Amino acid sequence: MYEFNIIIVSILKDKVRPVFPFTAIVGQEEMKLALLLNVIDPKIGGVMIMGDRGTGKSTTIRAIADLLPKIEVVQDDLFNSHPFDYDLMSNMVKTQVERGDHVPTKFIDVPMVDLPLGATEDRVCGTIDIEKALTEGIKTFEPGLLAKANRGILYVDEVNLLDDHLVDILLDAAASGWNTVEREGISVRHPSRFVLVGSGNPEEGELRPQLLDRFGMHAEIRTVKEPSLRVKIVEQRSKFDTNPYTCLEEFQEQQNELKSSIAAAQDRLPNVTIDYNLRVKISEVCGALDVDGLRGDIVTNRAAKAFAAYNNKIKVDINDIKSVITLCLRHRLRKDPLETIDSGNKIKQVVDSILN
């Protein structure tokens, strides 16, 4: 009986919790596009998803991670270090590589890390065991969520309720790709490159414009009104809850196709180009909309390239820009925290007059 229980526990440990398939999600095209473009090019800078309660924000975000190919990491490394890319290695792995040591590796699923609302700075950034450092002279680092999220996705639900100081830390790490922890004169620096995804309900308050601007994209989602679509969404969810494995099997072919498309787009992205005259037009739009700074220009260029790569092209055209520019600029038009975010009408008018 004892051995039987061990076998059952082992089977349950190995059993992966099923994730609702991304290709089964009905509607919410804006959110799905923003997530796809960010996993194709994480340098876009993440996405802020704002919308009504119960519209599938969390489900969609968890589903995108399930589409990504496994990544190769250094075995027993705390930071999911890349075995070949110097920029994605921890200092310990760099030292091993420089010495010519053999570095064992393994393949893991892309990390999907949830940041809870009550998280402290030490939980997010990691902490140094000061007592051990002072008494034994050993610098022991306890990694935080930023270490676990390296080369993956960091998801913050209700990010508009998170302390501004923590949001600043997350955005700085996402922008630089590094996290630095300093305590009592001891400093630890490690790679922390991830896709930052925030979600929230606008009724509970918006982020300050200065913080919102740091997100690469802003997707708006609304409750589906059409009765037939609502019925389809309810049926899909009920089918998954009743028998998730049957639902996964039904969408397996579409999931595999989308996985292949993402991987191909990631490979194609370095070769995608955008003509000078189109770059000028993007900057014209940003100037006409009085967008502060240059983040809007940079993100729109990156997103247009990722969109072109996803559509099997190596040259960006006007339609690629039109498809992504609202996502990239919508949240950069607010000058006053009391203003509401433009739904996209103002951007569309300017885009239609300049990009023709």
* Residue 183 · residue 127 · CB < 8 Å: yes
Nearest-angstrom CA–CA distance, 118 and 251: 36
Structure tokens at 171: 């955005």
Nearest-angstrom CA–CA distance, 172 and 181: 13
Residue 114 burial (C-beta neighbours within 10 Å; 0-12, 13-18, 19+): middle
Q: Which residue has the tokens 């700085």?
A: 172
Is 279 among the catalytic positions? no
Structure tokens at 253: 């072919």
Residues 6+ apart with CB under 8 A from 121: 165, 166, 169
Nearest-angstrom CA–CA distance, 186 and 217: 36
DSSP 62: H
Amino acid, res. 13: K
Q: Which residue has the tokens 């997100």?
A: 215
Of 295, 330, 332, 334, the active-site residue reads: 295
Nearest-angstrom CA–CA distance, 333 and 351: 14
Nearest-angstrom CA–CA distance, 282 and 300: 7
Nearest-angstrom CA–CA distance, 234 and 247: 13
Nearest-angstrom CA–CA distance, 17 and 247: 14
Q: Kind and range of the H or E element at 130?
A: helix 130-136
92 alpha-carbon distance from chain centroid = 26
Nearest-angstrom CA–CA distance, 306 and 40: 6
Where in the sequence numbering do the catalytic residues fall?
A: 295
